[in-house]
Amino acid sequence: MPINQYSVLKGTPLSGSISKDSRPHYLIELSAGSVSWQIAVNVESDTGSGSSAEVLYALDEDWTPPDAAALAALPMGATSLAGKDANPAIDYLRSRTPANQPLITRAAMTDLPLPGKTAAQNLQNAVIQYLNQAIADKDGTIYAFGALYTSGNGIHDIHMNQGNPANDHASDNGIWQDGLLVFSMPNAPAGASQWTAIFIAFQEQVWSTDNSGNVTS
């Protein structure tokens, strides 16, 4: 069964803070018109039942959207993408860049070390850095792809949402419903990228799925 209300949230960044729960997320506050929204981003690995990091991430500071015009044309606020199988919906395995290359690959992802290990805060620091840059840009905008909160104005599951094994979040599997965090900074200095993207996945997810997003052998 797909994730809840797969959507893209577009808004003007305001601030950010780390959550206080046992599975910390970085909470980004943004506005869309007169409405306040929240984005919850996984920024910390957990051992789970093992001893290795669970989170994978990739930072693309010179990202080219598959269809930048489609993103720019989106209204502020949440836009449902449920059931769509093309841009602007995101699929780590099926989306293609304008140059017809994979949007992201498993090989491009980096392990996020466990808390207390060297560089364990790399992802959190990157989110803060890009958020601050977007806030400083008078036209800075954030696009967050994921699942809408079941209660309140917010979005989470900002990560790969397919390839989960049968005993771990397989009920969330689906295609064209992956999470992605995108920062748009139209007034970036000459020579600097106007787009930055953060991709997040989990170690246990398999990068080969069927048309339901389930693991293929």
How many domains, in total, are found in the chain? 1
Is residue 208, in this structure, part of any structural domain at all?
no
Is residue 210, in this structure, part of any structural domain at all?
no
Q: Which residues pair with 57 in a beta bridge?
A: 110, 200
Is residue 170, in this structure, part of any structural domain at all?
yes
The 10s digit of each residue's pLDDT in 52-92 is 568 899 999 999 999 999 999 999 999 999 888 888 999 99
Is residue 139, in this structure, part of any structural domain at all?
yes
Is residue 151, in this structure, part of any structural domain at all?
yes
Q: Residue 151 is part of which domain span?
A: 6-202
Reply yes or no on whether the pLDDT at 106 is more than 60.
yes
Q: Where are the beta strands (DSSP E) in the chain?
A: 6-18, 25-32, 35-42, 55-60, 77-80, 110-111, 141-148, 154-156, 180-184, 195-202
Token code pair at residue 30: 């943004």
Q: Cα 69 to chain center, whole Å?
A: 19
The 10s digit of each residue's pLDDT in 193-207 is 799 999 999 988 999
